[in-house]
Structure formats: C-alpha cells, structure tokens
Structure 1
Amino acid sequence: MEPDGGEPARENSPGRSIVVVAHNIRSTHNVGSLLRTGSVFAIDHVHVTGFTPYPAYEQDPRDPKLRDLQTRRLAKAAAGAERTMPFTRHEDVVALLDALRADGYAVAGLEIDPAAVPLGEHTPGGKVALLLGDEVRGIEPEMRERCDVLLQIPMFGHKDSLNVSVAAGIALYSLRTS
C-alpha cells in the first residue's frame, strides 16, 4: 500500500460507508470522472489497483513526466476532485479486497454477468466496496469469484454496456440511496 492522496473522508457522510476499488481502469478521463462522481455521492475512499492511473501525491514514485501527464489528463474530468477525493494506490488487489472484507465491507463487483443481481434488487449493508474493472474486459473471472455479490445495471435499449465511469455513477447513486 502506498501513501494516501486527497483529504480525509467527510465526517457527515450520509448512511453507509462506500469505497470504490478501481482495478485496471485504462482511461485517465474515466478515473477523473470517477473521482468527481465519488465526491458527489460522498464515497469515503477510492482505491486504485493494477494499471489504473491516479493523481500525483507526495513522494509519488512514478516518473515525473508520466505522473504530471496522468494528473493533468484526469484533472480535466475530475474538476478539482483529484485534489480532494481520498485515494490510495495498492499493488495487490487481492490483499486489498481481503483487508476490506476483514474491516466489514461487502465486496460488490459491478459487472454484466449471468450471476449478477439487478442493481435495483440489491439491498446493501452498512459498508460496501464497489469493485470496477477494465473498460474492455470488465472484472476478471478470478476477481468476480472474490466478490460477495455481483451487481448489474439493467439495460433496456440497443446497447448492452455503459462506460465504466457512467456505470459507476449509476451504481453509486443506487448504493447511496438504497
């Protein structure tokens, strides 16, 4: 686990504790949008794993050019949330999920999957860790097995998938207001 970025979570976060695990998200714009959306829905923390880009933080080990480029790109969508949303970079997603579960979080993967529960039919508990996966392949099968529940957004139109940051916004709204 690497140092935290952002500010401490809000004391008055309504209802339940929600954290996001952004695993192998490719797009800096998706990460920026996720940070901004997370701020809107008062999530407590964003955990970034795999190759997910993240904002610069003190003692950031990345090459300065890469760090600055990724931070600039995600800042366009984050609209300031890159400086205020608490986040932590983790090397090991499995260890992170185990630690969150040990802390009382139910791990909910957001995925199109035959075993997934429609989002509106799920009643979340007091602590939820929302796992998001790669924009192209989603959550890897071995990571799906590590989830306590898989959630799916019902699709009614011609398309059968959403952008990961849009899907996260829908899921976070549902988790916050259920």
Structure 2
Amino acid sequence: MRKLENSELERKSVSDFKLATKTPISIILDDIRSLHNIGSVFRTSDAFLIEKIYLCGITAVPPNKEIHKTALGATDTVAWEYNKNVLDVIENLKSNKTKVYAIEQVENATFLDNFQPTKDAKYALVFGNEVYGVSQEAIKICDGCIEIPQLGTKHSLNISVSAGIVVWDLFQKLDPKK
C-alpha cells in the first residue's frame, strides 16, 4: 500500500462542487456553542455533498476564523443560511416535502441502524445544543427522531461526531448504485 498524494484524490473545484448533484440531506444546527463543531459539520457536509446547512439560534456563522480552523474552506462550498428560529426552518422544510428528523434520545426513537430512508425523499437532520440537545418544541414538530445506539456510560456524543455518523449512514443507505 502507498498513501495517496493530494494530487491523486480527484478533488472537486469549488465551482464543480456547486454544480454537482447533491445528496438529498440538509443539516440543521440549533444553538451550537462550539465553533469547532460548526466547522467540522461543514467539512463533513462537503465530504458527502450535503445540500445545505441551516444555522439557527446562537449558532455562529461564517466567516469566522474558529469555524474556518476545522471547516478548512468548506464554508465556501456548502450552501448555508442563518435563521434565528429553528421552528421556522423545520416548518418551511416540511412544507416543501422534506422529512425532518431530530437526532436525539427520546421515547420511541428509531435507532440509526433500523432507520431506512426512502431514496426519492429529501431529509433534514436536526442537531441541538451540546448540553441540552434538540429542544422539545423542535422534537414535537419533527417527523421523527433518530437515535445513535450507544453502549457505554456517557450516552452522549459530540455534535460533530454524531453528524459524521448519521450522515455517513444515510449517505450509504441512499446510494443510488445500491
């Protein structure tokens, strides 16, 4: 085995990225405190051609040098918008036939490994505050909740880790080649 050089990775240019067919997933970040989490979600979103990121509440927006540290330019490729009220974003997406799921531990949540997305649907995933999670108000208007099964003592993952796990799982399940 030989480690690939950067020139061998077939990276898209910014303009190619913007023109590429996107994975039918958007991400909603609500009240995220950590600028590193925000940047990391941008970077994951770039990697999997996510349609859009919605930044809500206290979530910081680009340009921001702390977001940039982990995003590494993904704020220039991934479409994003800011809206103070997460409930407005959820309602708007649902009215445009997007299925909205909170990533949260709730009664009757669907475990991620059991969640089967429909290949012709669009999805939005809500990730909440690092301490308080997704608000109960947002959970009430979502189409459902997805929980990442956890077996340890913490039952808590960093937002950027959760986003990476869920996006990768849905990306694979939505792969049109399967």
2:62 is the alignment partner of 1:98? no
Q: Deviations over 1:29-80 (max 9, x none)?
A: 0000000011111110001010001103xxxxxxxxxxxxxx1001111111
CA distance in 1, matches of 2:151, 2:135: 25
CA distance in 2, matches of 1:153, 1:9: 30
Contact kept in structure 1, 2:27 and 2:125, CA below 8 Å:
yes
How far, CA to CA, are the matches of 1:145 and 1:164 in structure 2? 21
Deviation at 1:96, TM superposition (A): 1.3
Counterpart for residue 26 of structure 1: 33
Which of residues 73, 80, 89 in structure 1 aligns to 2:82? 89
Cα 1:50–1:35 shift into 2, 3 Å: same
CA distance, structure 2, for counterparts of residue 23 and residue 150 of structure 1: 15
Provide the aligned length of Structure 1 versus Structure 2: 157
2:140 aligns to what?
145
Residue deviations 1:76-126 (CA, integer Å, cap 9, x gap): 111111222110011222221111011110001001222211001011132
Q: In structure 2, list runs of 5 or more residues that go unmatched.
A: 1-13, 174-178
CA contact (8 A) 1:9 1:45 kept: no
**Which one of 69, 79, 104 corresponds to residue 111 of structure 1?**
104
> What code does the residue aligned with 1:166 have?
V
Please name the residue that 2:157 is paired with. Answer: 162
Q: Shift of residue 9 of structure 1? A: 4.5
Amino acid at match of 2:130: E
> For the aligned residues, what is the CA RMSD?
1.6
Which residue of structure 2 lines up, in the alignment, with residue 68 of structure 1? Answer: none
The yes-or-no answer on 1:73 pairing with 2:66 is yes
| Structure 1 unaligned spans of 5+ | 1-5, 57-70
Q: If the length of structure 2 is used for normalisation, what is the TM-score?
A: 0.83
- Per the alignment, in what secondary structure is the counterpart of residue 155 of structure 1? coil
**Secondary structure of 2:141's match?**
coil
Q: TM-score, normalised by structure 1?
A: 0.83
